[in-house]
């Protein structure tokens, strides 16, 4: 169990040693620090004898950027630095992506943790029923996980393995699609697949198709989170990106807690309401993504 702390500890060490980007320093009016970081990168990549001056770069000139001038400290200063996120024209993409992330996290993480248990209940029934009927019958027969967490069989882990493998495949698919089309189209496609998967669970009875429906409901949402964050990063000025991404991700993680508790309280009460609510969530994602602004980086109205 303690081994799970190792990646986090290693990440903290790496982040501590990683310098801030020169672009950020320029955006907040600190060209000297930007020059120092760029000088260090130059020496690391081209050798210790190579300097920016030897390449003809004597200084860095910051562009016209937002500069915060305040005497406030502590929480008051943090609020002053964060407040521009909630002003036009940044407010619209910030709110759209934040709500989108809330729904994606809720479906991709909050529901996913319950899918293996739901499929296990259905697998113990040994009947061709739709997922909710299998869960209701499992509850009626008081079927629960009888295996010790320390002695799980491969059969019990099948659903988790399928979900993990499909998450990798969908991530690769999104990467390939990103070469050929735009982020907005990919997000709409992934959300549509989730809606289709959720609707499948209302009528498919073959166990393999039930698994497919669960995968399509949860995995596209899970795989779309980073893509949605990239849209937010491009929509927010450099000096506000870290705060915007942190806030949006925080609300996304709140979605995980809300969704997990929602499933826990409603699954035994009305399974159809439980799963179809996530269909509503992903339909909401489709509507929100369709409202995202166009990306003008190529000089044309190209969708994000």
Q: What is the distance between the alpha carbons of residues 220 and 247, in angstroms, rounded to a whole number?
A: 23
Same-domain check for residues 113 and 184 = yes
Structural domain for 28, as ranges = 18-65
pLDDT tens column, 42-90: 777 777 777 777 777 777 776 554 445 555 666 777 777 788 888 888 8
Q: What is the distance between the alpha carbons of residues 59 and 78, in angstroms, rounded to a whole number?
A: 30
Per DSSP bridges, beta strands 302-303 and 294-295 are antiparallel
- Tell me whether residue 256 is in a domain: yes
- Tell me whether residue 74 is in a domain: no
Nearest CA to 259 out of 271, 246, 244, 274 is that of 274
Is the peptide bond preceding residue 140 cis, with omega within 30 degrees of 0?
Answer: no
Distance in Å from the first CA to the final CA of the chain: 41
Same-domain check for residues 52 and 90 = no
Same-domain check for residues 154 and 61 = no
Q: What does the pLDDT profile of the chain (304 residues) look like in tens digits?
A: 567 678 788 888 887 777 777 877 777 778 888 888 888 887 777 777 777 777 777 777 765 544 455 556 667 777 777 888 888 888 998 999 999 999 999 999 998 888 877 777 666 666 677 888 877 777 676 655 444 444 555 555 676 788 888 989 999 999 999 888 889 999 999 999 999 999 999 999 887 888 889 899 999 999 999 999 999 988 888 778 888 999 999 999 999 999 999 998 888 788 889 999 999 999 999 999 999 865 544 333 333 4
Same-domain check for residues 59 and 106 = no
Question: Alpha helices, DSSP H only, in 141-270?
Answer: 154-180, 183-200, 207-223, 225-235, 238-266
- Tell me whether residue 169 is in a domain: yes
Q: What is the distance between the alpha carbons of residues 68 and 28, in angstroms, rounded to a whole number?
A: 8
- Tell me whether residue 70 is in a domain: no
pTM of the model: 0.75
**Residue 299 DSSP class:** S
For residue 115, the surrounding DSSP H or E stretch is: helix 115-125
For residue 302, the surrounding DSSP H or E stretch is: strand 302-303
- Tell me whether residue 143 is in a domain: yes
């Amino acid at each position: 169990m303690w081994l799970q702390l190792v990646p986090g500890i290693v990440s903290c060490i790496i982040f501590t040693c990683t310098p801030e980007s020169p672009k950020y320093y320029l955006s907040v009016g600190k060209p000297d620090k930007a020059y120092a970081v760029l000088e260090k990168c130059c020496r690391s990549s081209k050798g210790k004898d190579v300097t920016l001056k030897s390449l003809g770069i004597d200084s860095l000139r910051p562009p016209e950027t937002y500069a915060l001038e305040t005497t406030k400290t502590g929480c008051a200063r943090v609020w002053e630095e964060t407040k521009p996120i909630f002003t036009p024209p940044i407010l619209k993409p910030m709110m759209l992506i934040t709500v989108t992330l809330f729904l994606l996290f809720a479906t991709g993480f909050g529901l996913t943790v319950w899918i293996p248990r739901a499929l296990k209940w259905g697998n113990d029934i040994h009947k061709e029923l739709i997922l909710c009927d299998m869960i209701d019958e499992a509850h009626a027969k008081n079927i629960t996980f009888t295996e010790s967490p320390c002695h799980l069989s491969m059969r019990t882990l099948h659903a988790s393995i399928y979900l993990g493998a499909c998450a990798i495949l969908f991530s690769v698919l999104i990467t390939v699609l990103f070469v050929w089309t735009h982020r907005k189209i990919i997000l709409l496609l992934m959300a549509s697949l989730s809606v289709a998967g959720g609707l499948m669970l209302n009528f498919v009875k073959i166990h393999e198709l039930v698994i497919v429906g669960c995968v399509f409901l949860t995995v596209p949402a899970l795989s779309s989170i980073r893509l949605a964050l990239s849209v937010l990063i491009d929509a927010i000025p450099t000096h506000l990106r870290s705060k915007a991404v942190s806030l949006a991700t925080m609300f996304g993680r709140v979605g995980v807690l809300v969704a997990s508790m929602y499933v826990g309280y409603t699954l035994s009460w009305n399974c159809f309401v439980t799963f179809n609510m996530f269909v509503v969530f992903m339909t909401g994602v489709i509507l929100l993504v369709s409202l995202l602004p166009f990306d003008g980086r190529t000089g044309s109205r190209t969708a994000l």
